[in-house]
Amino acid sequence: MNPKQIFYKTQAETIIQHLEKRRMKGYYCPTCADALKTAMSLTASGSTVSFGGSMTLMETGILDALKNRTDLHLIDRSLARTPEEIKQAYRDSFHTDTYFLSTNAITMDGQLVNVDGNGNRVAALIYGPDQVIVVTGMNKVVSTVEDAVRRIKTIASPPNCIRLNRKTPCAATGMCADCLGDDCICSQTVITRRSGIAGRIKVLLVGETLGY
Ligand code: SF4
């Protein structure tokens, strides 16, 4: 292992201890391949699964693997053809056995910090699916909740706005202007400091740079 890999592993071990105190379960996955293997092993055959929009799920190969599994009932809103079907897919996601998402940031003491525009992703994180699997690259580790919010506004949201073709100040200038316009993707800020149901939230810490 090179020094960066050792650093990521050491950081992850500390975070996992803190996640445990917060009734969440952490796993360190050195590579995307390890994360994919762990994610699939946690997804039972015959179960119902959904996911939030995430570059990390794409980059790890988890999204493709879920779509390719024939033993799952996958709720995939990208297949919805009408606004009604999209709305139904969002609602059905709350009744799943497993919901996948990434996090915008995770603190060294095990708190997840997410900012969401629509709110469906953070809503499912908070309540609904029996199991929530959070997949994150170690590039999203920060020291404090304040650092997490700063990271989201300066590093995560601007490229996400560009990806989603949103007409926001951060997409135009690279800098957050605390906007409130129609295209803003920063509606809800959710800090998950504890899981109400022990073990419901599982966090896969991947020793690679993933997502925004
Ligand atoms: S400019 Fe708006 S969308 Fe962009 S990071 Fe700031 S609040 Fe979020």
Q: pLDDT confidence of 151, banded at 50, 70, 90?
A: very high
Task: Name the residue with the closest Cα to ligand 1, atom 7.
Answer: 178
Q: What is the mean pLDDT of residues 38-43?
A: 98
Radius of gyration of the chain (CA): 17
Q: What is the mean pLDDT of residues 138-157?
A: 97
Q: What residues line ligand 1, using a CB cutoff of 6 Å?
A: 153, 157-158, 161, 168-170, 176-179, 184-186
Spacing of C-alpha 59 from chain mean position: 12
104, 115, 150, 153: which to mutate for ligand 1, most atoms within 8 A of CB?
153
Nearest partner of 95 among 129, 47, 66, 134, judged by Cα: 129
Q: What is the mean pLDDT of residues 194-199?
A: 98
Q: Nearest 10 degrees: CA dihedral of 17, 116, 129, 106?
A: -10
Report CA(167)–ligand 1 centroid distance (Å): 10
Q: pLDDT confidence of 85, banded at 50, 70, 90?
A: very high
Mean pLDDT for the chain?
Answer: 97
Predicted pLDDT at 172:
97
Q: pLDDT confidence of 189, banded at 50, 70, 90?
A: very high
Model pLDDT for residues 45-65, shown as the tens digit of each residue: 999 999 999 999 999 999 999
Query: Does the model's pTM come out above 0.85?
Result: yes
CB-based burial, 124-148: b 16+ in 10 Å, e otherwise: bbbeebebbbbbbbbbbbbeebeeb
Domain ranges of the chain: 3-206
Greatest Cα pair distance in the chain: 51
Predicted pLDDT at 39:
98
Superfamily of domain covering 3-206: NagB/RpiA/CoA transferase-like (3.40.50.10420)
Task: Name the residue with the closest Cα to ligand 1, atom 6.
Answer: 176
Integer Cα distance of 144 and 191 in angstroms: 11
115, 116, 178, 189: which to mutate for ligand 1, most atoms within 8 A of CB?
178
Predicted pLDDT at 24:
98
Report CA(1)–ligand 1 centroid distance (Å): 38
Integer Cα distance of 99 and 97 in angstroms: 7
Report CA(113)–ligand 1 centroid distance (Å): 16
Report CA(180)–ligand 1 centroid distance (Å): 8
Which atom of ligand 1 is closest in space to residue 154's alpha carbon?
A: 5
